[in-house]
């Protein structure tokens, strides 16, 4: 039976080859010159995109399509973010690695395209997701080469962190090194890290029964790898795989992340087509097993996938993720680009739960401070100096009953709702009337309009730290114990921010607002 993912890939590439975008140009360029052509194309065509929805402080595709973050790392003195990139079209297609660098996770510098599909082991579908690291003053990219229905792990190296050469030894993990009970066509997204003078690689996989799993490999050199074992296995994701594994030690806790396809919805959790989950536990480096108790969702909003983490020299763990979801319409396609990343987040672990906070560097860009306190809230309330589309809001509500919250990006007919529903103890993010419609083509999610998240108030107190950036909303709840992320596409003049409550006894305990000016 044809594997579903391969079938989807086949369809997507078929559409591309039938004349969408510049597929013919891609076809002509299947040689080493391909990389230069891709970068030339980006430089010329990035000038022609419509910027109306591009976030000021979120990194996004310069032109064409962006999906997963790749190779998010600190290497050779710079922070690097690579990304799954089809420069030639606003749809997924032959995968390149685009490249940004940054000093502060807020301002990003576009660098030459790093990888193009130009070798027998990565032509057809291209260079899929992976990771990066520094070793002996060189930088290495570990990625999945996809040729037909064969996925293998490959490596490219660089002396300057800008120009990468695929090594002669590729593929460094070939199909023969995949355990017999595991899929050869769903074997991707290597996450490499170092532990006790050895390198370890986690690879997303599924077994022949369709259960999602993560495989662990070990190497002393980065080039010769030995299979160690199966890290985690989940019978819950048939027929999907555990994509994009990631691993970090945060506050002395081992945290394993993965992006399982089609993770089953459970109440208000895992409502998107695919989800990002984390598990806190212990990795046994001999057997490869990762023992854990609970699988939790990382973000309860709409648009969050394929997350990656890096360690900063000052010891922080920073996470980034694709701020988009598969199988949805993407309104910026009409503007010449698709795909953006979240505002990077600092991670910590408290009481065995992940805590997320916006990267502290964002505070450098705050302007125009406004603050109010103790405002009783019935009906609708506005403040003349609180509004805008590139804003940080920090609101604490005292909640007693009914629905209490915010209306964001308000215009004549538009509003994005973010409110606490005391009857169901849920935080609701409703983008039904936000602006341009986002449609889902997946039968897994009931809609792409409303997400709910179970949240306990702190003795009736609810804190929402909210970042608006033209076409995105990111919410950090009660100090980051939960988050919700989503894209919205309001009209140009939909700039209003309102506070509302339909219950009795609710109030704004405090609110601060900054404009974020880049
Ligand atoms: C996740 C993913 C990865 C794959 C990449 C292809 O979004 O499906 O598993 O490497 O996208 O672009």
84 lines ligand 1 (CB under 6 A): yes
Ligand 1 contact, 129 CB (< 6 A):
yes
- Distance, CA of 143 to CA of 93 (rounded, Å): 16
Residue 463, ligand 1, Cβ within 6 A: no
Could you tell me the distance, in angstroms and rounded to a whole number, from the CA of residue 30 to the centre of ligand 1?
21
Higher pLDDT, 21 or 159: 159
Which residue has the least CA distance to atom 8 on ligand 1? 243
Q: Distance between CA atoms of 449 and 486, rounded to whole angstroms?
A: 10
Q: Please identify which of the residues 31, 40, 56, 68 carries the catalytic annotation.
A: 68
Q: 41 or 15: whose pLDDT is higher? A: 41
The number of C-alpha atoms within 13 Å of 241 and in the hemisphere containing its C-beta is 24
HEC profile of 223-280: CCCEEEEEEEEEHHHCCCCEEEEEEEEECCEEEEEEEEECCCCECCECCCCECCEEEE
What is the atom index within ligand 1 of the atom nearest the CA of 322?
7
Select from 244, 457, 483 the least CA-distant residue to 345: 483
Average pLDDT over every residue of 373-379: 97
Q: Is pLDDT at 131 greater than 60 in this prediction?
A: yes
Biggest CA-to-CA distance, the chain: 70
Three-state secondary-structure class, residue 43: helix
68 is catalytic: yes
Q: Tell me the C-alpha distance between 82 and 97, whole Å.
A: 6
Atom of ligand 1 nearest to the CA of 243: 9
Copy the structure tokens of residue 17. 């080859």
Residue 220 predicted with pLDDT over 90: yes
Model-wide pTM > 0.85: yes
Burial grade of 81 (CB within 10 A; 0-12, 13-18, 19 or more): buried
Distances (CA, A) of 325 to 26, 62, 144, 329, 440: 25, 19, 21, 9, 9
Q: What is the pLDDT of residue 104?
A: 98
Give the containing element (helix H, strand E) for 408. strand 403-410
pLDDT score at 141: 98
296 SS3 class = strand
Ligand 1 centre to CA of 129 (Å) is: 6
Distance 95 CA to ligand 1 centre (A): 9
Tell me which of 3, 7, 66, 68 to substitute to probe ligand 1's pocket, judged by most ligand atoms within 8 Å of the beta carbon: 68
Contact 102, 109 (CB under 8 A): yes
Kindly give the pairing relationship between strand 64-75 and strand 337-338: parallel
164: DSSP letter:
-
**CB of 68 shorter than 6 A to ligand 1:** yes
Cis-peptide into 180, omega within 30 deg: no
Looking at residue 15, its pLDDT comes to 39
Asked whether 244 lines ligand 1 (CB < 6 A), one says: yes
Quote the CA–CA distance of 429 and 446 in Å, as a whole number: 15
Ligand 1 site, residue 243, Cβ cutoff 6 A: yes
Residue 19 binned pLDDT confidence (cut-offs 50, 70, 90): very low
Stretch among 199-208, 233-242, 472-481 having the lowest mean pLDDT: 233-242
DSSP state of 328: B
264 DSSP assignment: P
Q: Which of 393, 336, 304 is nearest to 58 (CA)?
A: 304
188 CB within 6 A, ligand 1: yes
pLDDT value at position 51? 98
pLDDT, one tens digit per residue, over 173-207 is: 999 999 999 999 999 999 999 999 999 999 999 99
Q: In angstroms, what CA-CA distances link 323 with 270, 303, 329, 330, 343?
A: 16, 5, 13, 11, 9
Residue with CA at minimum distance from ligand 1 atom 6: 128
Give CA angle at 253 (252, 256), nearest 5°: 140
- Kindly report the average pLDDT of the chain as a whole number: 93
Torsion of CA 381, 409, 361, 76, to 10 degrees: 170
Q: What is the mean predicted confidence (pLDDT) over 255-279? A: 96
Rounded to the nearest angstrom, the distance between the alpha carbon of 243 and the centre of ligand 1 is 7
């Amino acid at each position: 039976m044809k594997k579903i993912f391969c079938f989807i890939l086949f369809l997507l590439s078929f559409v591309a080859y039938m004349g969408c975008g510049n597929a013919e140009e891609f076809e002509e360029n299947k040689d080493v010159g391909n990389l230069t052509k891709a970068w030339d194309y980006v430089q010329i065509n990035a000038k022609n995109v419509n910027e109306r929805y591009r976030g000021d402080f979120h990194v996004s595709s310069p032109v064409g399509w962006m999906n997963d973050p790749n190779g998010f790392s600190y290497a050779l003195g710079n922070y690097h973010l690579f990304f799954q990139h089809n420069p030639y079209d606003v749809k997924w297609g032959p995968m390149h690695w685009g490249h940004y660098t940054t000093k502060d996770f807020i301002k990003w510098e576009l660098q030459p395209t790093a990888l193009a599909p130009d070798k027998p082991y990565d032509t057809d579908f291209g260079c899929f997701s992976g990771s990066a690291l520094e070793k002996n003053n060189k930088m290495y990219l570990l990625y999945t080469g996809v040729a037909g229905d064969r996925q293998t792990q490959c490596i490219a190296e660089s002396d300057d962190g800008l120009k990468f050469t695929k090594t002669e030894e590729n593929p460094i993990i070939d199909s023969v090194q995949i355990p017999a009970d595991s899929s050869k066509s769903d074997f991707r997204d290597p996450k490499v890290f170092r532990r006790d003078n050895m390198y370890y690689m986690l690879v997303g996989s599924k077994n022949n029964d369709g259960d999602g799993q993560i495989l662990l490999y070990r190497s002393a050199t980065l080039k010769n790898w030995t299979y160690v074992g199966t890290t985690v296995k989940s019978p819950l994701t048939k027929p999907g795989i555990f994509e994009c594994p990631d691993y970090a030690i945060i506050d002395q806790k081992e945290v394993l992340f993965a992006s399982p396809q089609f993770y089953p919805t459970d109440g208000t959790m895992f409502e998107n087509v695919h989800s990002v989950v984390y598990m806190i536990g212990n990795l046994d480096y001999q057997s490869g097993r990762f023992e854990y108790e609970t699988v939790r969702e990382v973000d309860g909003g709409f648009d969050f996938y394929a997350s990656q983490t890096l360690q900063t020299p000052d010891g922080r763990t920073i996470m980034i993720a694709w701020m988009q979801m598969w199988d949805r319409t993407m309104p910026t396609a009409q503007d010449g680009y698709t795909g953006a990343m979240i505002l990077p987040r600092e991670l910590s672990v408290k009481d065995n739960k992940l805590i997320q906070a916006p990267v502290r560097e964002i505070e450098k860009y705050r302007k125009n401070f406004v603050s109010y306190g103790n405002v009783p809230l019935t009906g609708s309330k506005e403040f003349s100096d609180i509004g805008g589309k590139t804003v940080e809001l920090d609101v604490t509500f005292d909640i007693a009953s009914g629905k209490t919250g915010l209306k964001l990006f308000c215009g004549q007919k538009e509003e994005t709702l973010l409110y606490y529903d005391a009857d169901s103890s849920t935080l609701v993010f409703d983008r039904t009337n936000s602006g341009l419609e986002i449609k889902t083509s997946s039968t897994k999610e009931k809609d792409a309009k409303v997400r709910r998240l179970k949240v306990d108030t702190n003795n009736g107190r609810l804190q929402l730290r909210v970042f608006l950036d033209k076409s995105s909303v990111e919410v950090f709840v009660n100090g980051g114990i939960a988050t919700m992320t989503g894209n919205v596409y309001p009209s140009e003049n939909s700039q209003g921010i309102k506070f509302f409550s339909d219950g009795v006894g609710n109030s704004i305990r405090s609110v601060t607002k900054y404009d974020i000016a880049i």
